[in-house]
Amino acid sequence: MSEPDMNDTPTRAGFVALIGEPNAGKSTLLNRMVGAKVSIVTHKVQTTRARIRGIAVHGAAQIVFVDTPGIFRPRRRLDRSMVKAAWGGAADADVILLLVEAHRGLTDGTQAIIDQLVAQNVKTPVALVINKIDRVKAENLLALTQQMNEAYGFTRSFMISAEKGYGCDDLLDWLADNLPEHDWLYPEDQVADLPMRVIAAEITREKLTLRLHEEIPYQLTVETEKWEERKDGSARIDQIIYVARPGHKGIVLGKGGETIKAISQAAREELAEFMGRPAHLFLQVKVRENWLDEAERYDEMGLNFRDGDG
Decide: residue 240, CB within 10 A, 0-12 exposed, 13-18 middle, 19+ buried. middle
Reported as a single tens digit per residue, the pLDDT across 122-148 is: 888 999 999 999 999 999 999 999 999
Task: Name the class of domain 12-178.
Answer: alpha beta
For residue 201, name the pLDDT band (cuts at 50, 70, 90): confident
Quote the CA–CA distance of 87 and 49 in Å, as a whole number. Answer: 9
Closest CA to 10 of 44, 79, 70, 59: 59
- Three-state secondary structure call for residue 90: helix
Which pLDDT score is estimated for 193? 31
Please state, in angstroms and rounded to a whole number, the distance separating the CA atoms of residues 242 and 46.
Answer: 26
Distance in angstroms (rounded) separating the CA atoms of residues 44 and 13: 18
Give me the CATH code for the 193-308 domain, please: 3.30.300.20
Q: What is the pLDDT of residue 258?
A: 95
Longest dimension (CA), the chain: 64
pTM as predicted: 0.64
Mean pLDDT of 151-155: 95
Domain boundaries, the chain: 12-178, 193-308
The Cβ-side half-sphere exposure at 234, using a 13 Å CA radius, reads 10
The DSSP secondary-structure symbol of 89 reads H
